[in-house]
Structure formats: C-alpha cells, structure tokens
Amino acid sequence: MPALNRVQIIGNLGKDPAVRFTPSGSKVCTFSVAVNRRWKSADGEAREATDWFNVEVWGRLGEISQHYLHKGSLVFLEGRLSTDRYEHEGETRYFTKVIASSMQMLDRKAESDEAELTIEDQPGE
C-alpha cells in the first residue's frame, strides 16, 4: 500500500535557531515557524490566525540554517512530519514536528544574494 508523509510550509521564524547535539553526537538545529492564515467569516468579517510549527534541521542544512536564519526570516520548508511520545507526570504526551529536508530563504535581498538550498534525506533520530 502506498504511503506519503510530506509537508510544505512558508512562514517566519519565531526565534533564532538553536543548535544541540544528540547523545550520539549528531548536530541538530531547531526553530519554530509561524504561518499566518486569513479568511472571511460567515458575516464577512476578515479573520486571521497563526499556526506555529516546530522544525528540526539536520546535517549541512542545519548548519546553514544556524548561520543564515534569524528571528523573522521568511523561509519555505519542505520535509516530513514526525511525532515523538514522552511521559510527563504519568501521562503520555505527543509532540509533532517538521523534519526539514529542503529550505529556500525567501527574504528579499539583492538578486545576487538570493539563495536556494536543498538537501535530501536528512538523518533524524
């Protein structure tokens, strides 16, 4: 049976990227991305809401993210969803995140400074 786990988002970083190391020594870059949604309600009133996504970026793309991204950066991310499970005070909790496999920086800069970076099959733990 076919399966698909793919997500694409465009949004702004909510804070500067943070880097940490796994127990095995792998480097991972994490940050959150805000994606705004706009619509009109049934009575015609303009509405807006923001969805927040936690993102992990591994390997070389993580290093690039750490170096070039900052709070407010506009990015296009493509990757997969991953859900972790953990216990807290005897209760099972779930945490879903985006594991990014490609990134395009969308901030407006001089044409010569525009960057598109893609790396496929990022390792994850």
User: In this structure, are residues 35 and 11 in contact, taking their beta carbons and an 8 Å threshold?
Assistant: yes
Give the per-residue pLDDT at 124.
Answer: 53
Q: What is the pLDDT of residues 48-81, one digit of tens each?
A: 999 999 999 999 999 999 999 999 999 999 999 9
Contact criterion met (CB below 8 Å) for 57 and 18: no
pTM for the whole thing? 0.79
Query: Is it the case that residue 114 has pLDDT exceeding 50?
Result: no
CATH no. of 7-38+47-118: 2.40.50.140
Ordered by start, the domain boundaries in the chain are: 7-38+47-118
Q: How far is CA 103 from the centre of its chain?
A: 9
Res 95 pLDDT > 60: yes
